[in-house]
Chains A and B, each alone.
Chain A
Amino acid sequence: MSKLGKWIDERTGISGPVRSFLSYPVPKYVHGNLLYTLGGLTAIGFLLQVVTGILLMFYYDPSPEGAYNSVDYITFEVPLGWLVRGVHHYGASAMVILAALHMLRTYFMSTYKKPREINWLTGVLLLFLTLAFGFTGYLLPWDQKGYWATKVGSEIAGSVPVIGSWLASLMRGGEVLGQATLTRFYATHVVLLPTLVAILIVIHILQLRFHGMAPAITERAKRNSRKFVPFFPHWVVTDTILGLGLLALLVYLSWSQGVPLDFPADPSASDFVPRPEWYFLFYFQALKYFPGSLEAVATILIPLFIFGTMIVLPFVDKGDERRPWKKPVTTGVGIFYTVLIIVLTILAW
C-alpha cells in the first residue's frame, strides 16, 4: 500500500471493506457467461448517463424560451457537445434494452424466488424508473416531438378514472404544458430519479452480495458452481471491457447517425402527429385498440395489471423448480408478453 493509501486507511479503515468487496467470490459458471453481465452493463449504462447528464447540465437551460436553443447549442456549437448528447441519447435506449434483457434473464431463470424477492422487486422498480427517465428526458429539448408526446402522455394520465385530472395537473403543473411542466420534468429527471435509482442500485447490489448468485440450474453449471473466482480482477475486467464496448457503440451511433433534434416546440401546431420514443411504442399501439369508453382499460388497468403481476410474481411462484423448460406456464407467459411487446412495437414503428 502506498504511503498515501496507508495514511487514508489509518484514518478511515477503508481498506478492509474494499478488499472484502473486491475479493468477493463469484461462481465460475457465472463468470464468462454474457447473460450474467447484463446487470453490470446496465449499471455502467447508468453511470454513463450520470456523467453525460452532468456535462449536459452545464449548458442546458430549463425554460421554454431557452431549452431548445441550449440543446441546439450543445449539439451544434459546443466542442464535442454532439458526442456527449449522442452518448446520453443512445445510452438511454441502451439502458432500456439492457435493463429489459436483464429482467428477462432473471424472469426465465426464476431467480426472483425466495430468498431473492427483494432483489426482484428493486429490479422491477429500476426498470420502471428507467422508463420514467426516458419519459421525462424526452420533453427536455422542448422540441416538437417531446412537447407533443408529453402533451399526449399527460392527457393519457388525465383519462385515469377519479384521480386523472389530479395526475395530469401534477405532471403539467397547471392546465397546459409550460414552464412549470418543464421544471417538474427537469427536477424529476436530474434529481429525483437519479437519487431513487442510485439508492435502489445499492440495495440491489447489497442484496446480490448478501444472497450470492442464484444456484445453477444446469448440470454443467452446477459442476462449475463449486469453483469460484475473485470479483477482482476477473469480473471487474470483464465488465470494464464490455462497458468500454458499450461506450464505443454509443460513440459510433452518435457519430454515424447524429443525435436527433426536432424543430422547436410550437404549441399552435395542432396538426403535428405525436409519437413517443421507441420503447413506448408498444403502449402507444395498444392504446389504439381501446377507443372511447374502453380507454381506461389501456391507460390504467393494463399497466396496473403488468406492474402488479411483476410485483406479486415471487410470492405466487414459490416452487423449487427453476428450469424454464420445466415451467411451461411462467415461461409461456413470459414469451407471450415479450412477443406481444415486440409485435406491437413493430406495428407502431
Chain B
Amino acid sequence: MKRLLLALAILGLGTLALSQSTTLTAVRASDLSLDAGAAYWTDAPTLEVQMVAAQEGDADGPVVMLQAVYDNDSIAIRAEWADATESVMKNAWTWDGTAFTKSGDEDRIMFAWPIGNNPDFASKGCTAACHNEGDDTSTWWMGSDSDDVRFDAWQWKAARTNPVGYIDDKWWGTLTDPEDVESSRHGDSREGGSYANNRNEEQTGPTFMSSEGTAARFIVDGQQIELDTSTLAVGDVIPGYILAAAVGSRGDIATRGVWTDGKWVVVLMRPLDTGHDDDTVFRVRRRTPFGLSVVDDGGGLSHTVGEEVLVLDWK
C-alpha cells in the first residue's frame, strides 16, 4: 500500500506543469502594495523576456524582468527594464522666447490579455490580435475579427498615467469603422478623470502652466493655472497634458513606476476580478496567456514585443 501511495503521490507531482521560460509564476503574498521594494518580491520567481523589434529595421528592446504576486483579492506585477533615458515629456511645449514648439514622447510598457478563453491568443499571443497584412503600415491595426473576441490592453504611460498612479486600461475589439484602424480600440468605461491635452485652440501652444512652477514635469488636475508667457524663460518646458486618475474600469489598475539609474521599475496592481465586463478575469490556478510590449520614447508601430506567448501561472 505504501508503494501505491508513493506512486500516486509521484503521479500527482508529475502532472504539475513544467515551468518554462515563458511562464510568469505568481506566488501568494500578503499586504500587497505598489512598493517595488516589498519583501515578498524576493520570493517571487523572475521571468526574463527579451523584447524584439516589432518592425523590421527597428532596434530590439531591453530584457524585461517580470514578477507577480497575489492574494485572495488582487494581483501585483513588477516589471523592471533598462532604459538609458527617462522619457516623460510627451508633446511638451518648449518656449523659445516668442513661440512654442511641441516635442517629446514617453516610455511605455503594455500588457495584452484575452477577455475570456481565446484559443487563438493562447497559441499565438498578440499575433492573434495583430492585423499587419500588406506593406502599407497605415492599414495595420490591433483587434479581433469577431464581436465575441475581445482583448484587454493595459498601457502604462510614463508621461500620461504613471504620475497619477493608474494604467490606461483599454480593450480591443472589431473595427467599428472599416476605414478607421483606430476604431477597434476602446477605452474601458470611465466615470471621470484621465488625461487631457494641454494645448490652445490654434494648437500653437499650451493653455495652462503648472502652479508648481516651470520646473514641474507634470500638471496634475487642480495644479493648472492660466498660461502667462511673461513668467517664462527661454528653454522652459510646459507639460503637454493635464493629468487626472481615471475613475471606473478605465482606471482600475493602480501603478507606481520609478526611473532611477538607467532603469524603470514599475509595479501595477489590480483586483483579480474587477467586476467590469471589459476586463480580463483572473482566477487563481487558471493559467492565463498574455503578451508584452515595451516602447522607448515613442509610440505607434515603433515598439518592441516579446516573441513567445507568455503565460501567467499560479503557485
Contacts and interface: CB of A to CB of B under 8 A. Distances in A.
Are A and B part of the same complex?
yes
Interface of A: 34, 68-69, 72, 75-77, 82, 90, 93-94, 97-98, 101, 144, 242, 249, 253, 256-258, 260-266, 268-269, 272, 278, 349
Given A263-B122, A263-B123, A264-B118, A75 B8 contact: no
Contacts of A261: 286-287
Contacts of A72: 117, 286
Given A68-B119, A98-B4, A253-B8, 5 more contacts: A144-B123, A263-B119, A263-B123, A264-B122, A269-B119
Given A264-B122, A266-B120, A257 B289 contact: no
B5 interface: yes
A262 B8 CA distance: 21
12 contacts: A75-B285, A76-B283, A90-B8, A98-B4, A242-B1, A249-B8, A253-B9, A257-B15, A263-B119, A263-B123, A264-B118, A266-B120
Interface string B70-95: 00000000000000000000000000
B4 A256 contact: no
Contacts of A265: 119
Given A68-B117, A263-B119, A101 B12 contact: no
Interface in B1-59: 1, 4-5, 7-9, 11-17
B185 interface: no
Please indicate which of the listed interface residues A82, A97, A257, A260 has the most CB atoms of chain B within 10 Å of its own CB: A257
Interface string B282-303: 0101110100000000000000
Contacts, number: 73
A305 B306 CA distance: 50
A266 B8 contact: no
A218 B208 CA distance: 99
B184 to A, nearest CB: 21
Interface in B112-140: 116-120, 122-124
Contacts of B8: 90, 93-94, 97, 249, 253
Given A72-B117, A76-B286, A97-B4, A257 B13 contact: yes
Shortest Cβ-Cβ A-B pairs, 4 listed: A263-B122, A269-B123, A266-B119, A253-B12
A184 B302 CA distance: 49
B123 A266 contact: yes
A188 B298 CA distance: 57
A255 to B, nearest CB: 10
A263 B289 contact: yes
Nearest to A272: B123
A75 B286 contact: yes
A14 B74 CA distance: 58
Contacts of A144: 122-123
Given A258-B285, A264-B122, A266-B123, A278 B117 contact: no
A131 to B, nearest CB: 15
Given A76-B285, A94-B8, A97-B8, A260 B15 contact: yes
Nearest to B12: A253
A257 to B, nearest CB: 5
A266 B120 CA distance: 6
B1 A34 contact: yes
Contacts of B9: 249, 253
Contacts of B286: 72, 75-76, 261
A98 B1 CA distance: 10
Contacts of A249: 5, 8-9
A57 B289 CA distance: 28
A263 B117 CA distance: 8
A257 B10 CA distance: 11
A272 to B, nearest CB: 7
A115 B116 CA distance: 58
Nearest to A34: B1
A172 B117 CA distance: 24
Contacts of A69: 116-117
Contacts of A266: 119-120, 122-124
Nearest to B11: A93
Nearest to B120: A266
A319 to B, nearest CB: 30
Given A34-B1, A98-B4, A249-B8, A278 B15 contact: yes
Contacts of A268: 120, 123
Contacts of A97: 4, 7-8, 11
Nearest to B3: A101
Contacts of B117: 68-69, 72, 263-264
Interface in B179-218: none
A101 B118 contact: no
A278 B14 contact: yes
B123 to A, nearest CB: 4
Contacts of B289: 263
A76 to B, nearest CB: 4
Contacts of B283: 76-77
A90 B12 contact: yes
